[in-house]
Structures are given as structure tokens and as C-alpha cells.
Amino acid sequence: MSLPLVSVAVPAYNHAPFLTACLESVRVQTYPHLELVVVDDGSTDDTLAVANRFAATHADRFERLIVIHQANRGVSAASNCAIAACQGEWVHLLGSDDQLYPDKILRQQQAIETWRDPALALVYADVDFIDATGQLLSSAIRNRPPPGPDHQACLWLIRYNPIPNPTVALRREAFLAIGGFDEQLRLEDLDGWLRLSVNHAVARMPGVLAGYRRHGNNASQRQLMMFEANWDTLGKFAEQHGELIPAALWRGCLRRRLHRFLRWARKNAPKLIPMILGDTLLSLVRTPEPAVWRRYAACCRTLR
């Protein structure tokens, strides 16, 4: 039986120093039938030139290889553009500063074929953290859900997001059917995974299959933006699908987020402490309305 075409989508912005290693990690995949779509999101460095040189040199490795240039619109828009331009049923989404391990695509596609779950729309695995030079920092393999498809992934996604972005494979049509990533959010991933989980299964495949690069420009290191994005994401999900989550879980989720926000506020915004403590106490007996999550997102915006 011939293997199906599998796509790799790489949204890229100002990652010229890392892009060659990223694209090389796609080229050396053991899965044979690949297409590669790179979207340069209006980079001001040599990202586009690096992508074009790679395409000119290695086009024969891929069934299809295209480089798209667009004006800067942000990572969500670039990811949406790249995924929409792909032709494979499954799209492996890869940040332009990260890299895949050689068997990543083959192993995940084998797992998808083994599970044969028509509701499956997202597969992920474990990840190494690497530094700017590619050296191993640590492995993120703790606090992971059990392996295999989960048809109620939203129940743990609202508490924490264990999905490392470089390991993600998406069923393209399911992802496009939910409208792709929300381009209005400052961080897109958790919102996208939550919306996918409403009507689709999410599956963890055990094993470390990619390297997530930590360096000074990672969005995850901008703590206030992370808080704002998480408050907005959970507020949006509560507005649209709040009934899917038991009341006790919503209350516990709020306390967990407030506890983390309190630690940050003590050093950076002590005026918020009374509100945080008050909402923590209320969460013991009252299920938070979506407006509570939105209020904290608004607080973060005023503190930028």
C-alpha cells in the first residue's frame, strides 16, 4: 500500500539563524512522501532568503515545496496560511526555530493508522528543550495524559496545556473547519486545541519526537502576555462551551490560575492582590462567570 502525502507547515518570522536547522530536520525525515510549505510572515531579517535557498537546493526531496511571502500579520495568520496551502490530510505544524527528530512524522503517522479513529484531529508527543545552539537543556515528559485518543481532552486542557507545539500533527480539514487559529489572540495554540477538542479526539503519542528551542525571543518567556492570553482563551471557551466543563472543575481551574497570578502580582502589581484573594475565596462556592476571566485579561492589558 502506498503511503499518503503528509504535509509540514512552517510559519516563519525573523528566525534566519534557526531556519536552516529547522528545514533540514524536515528534509531528513524517514517518512518519504512529504510536502513542505513555508510562510515568511514579513520578516525583516534573511528568513525569506534562507527559505528560498533551501527550496532551490532541496526541491527534489519533496513531493511539493513552496515558499510564501506575506506582509507581517502574526504567527496565527502565518500558521493559518501555511496549513491552508497544504494538500496532505495530516499537517505537521513546526515553528521556524524548532526542529523535528528524524522519525517524528513516520512514528506519528503509524500511530494514526493504528488508532483508526475518524474523530481524531490532533496528535502530539513529548519534546526536548534545546538552547539557541541546539544543545539539550531538559526533556518535558512529566504530567502527560495517558497515550492514545482522548474524546474529552477539554477537561484537562482548561487546567494545563501539555501539548508541545513542535510535536503537533493536525487533520487539516478538521482544523480548517473550526476556522483555524484565532488571529485576534496574542497566543493561539491553547484556544485552537480547546476548540478542536469540542468535537474531535486529541491523542498523545509517547516518546520525545522534537526539540523546542528556548531563546530570548520565545513568546512563552513573556510572562504577562502569557497570563493575558490564557485569561482571554479561557474566557472565550467559557462563553462558547462552558457547559462542557463541570462546575467544580471550572472553580478549581480558576483557583489554579489565580494562585499563579498572585505570585506574579506580589512582585509586579500588588494593587491586584485584594481582587485576586477575593476571587479565590469566591471560587470555593461560586462557579466563575466568563466575565471573571475577561476581567483579568483586561487587567493584564492595562499593565503592559
Residue 139 shares a structural domain with residue 121? yes
**Domain with 266 in it:** 222-303
Residue 204 shares a structural domain with residue 233? no
Least confident segment among 31-35, 128-132, 135-139: 135-139
Say which residue the cell 487533520 belongs to: 171
Say which residue the cell 513529548 belongs to: 126
pLDDT of residue 188: 85
As a whole number of angstroms, the longest Cα–Cα distance in the chain is 64
Q: How many domains does the chain have?
A: 2
As a whole number, mean pLDDT of residues 59-77 equals: 97
Domain boundary among 217, 232, 252: 217
pTM of the predicted model over 0.85: yes
Residue 88 shares a structural domain with residue 186? yes
Angle made by CA atoms 24, 28, 30, in degrees to the nearest 5: 150
Residue 192 shares a structural domain with residue 226? no
Domain boundary among 217, 251, 285: 217
pLDDT of residue 268: 93
C-alpha cell at 7: 504535509
C-alpha cell at 152: 474529552
- In a domain? residue 226: yes
State the DSSP code for 167: G
- In a domain? residue 81: yes
Which amino acid, one-letter code, is at 93? L
- The answer to whether 154 touches 100, Cβ cutoff 8 Å, is no
Residue 139 shares a structural domain with residue 252? no
Q: At 111, is the pLDDT very low, low, confident or very high (cuts 50, 70, 90)? A: very high
pLDDT of residue 186: 79
Instruction: Count how many Cα atoms sit within 13 Å of the Cα of residue 76 in the half-sphere of its side chain.
Output: 16
- The answer to whether 160 touches 190, Cβ cutoff 8 Å, is no
Distance CA 175, CA 255 (A): 31
DSSP 211-270: EEEP-TT-GGG-HHHHHHHHHHHHHHHHHHHGGGS-HHHHHHHHHHHHHHHHHHHHHH-G
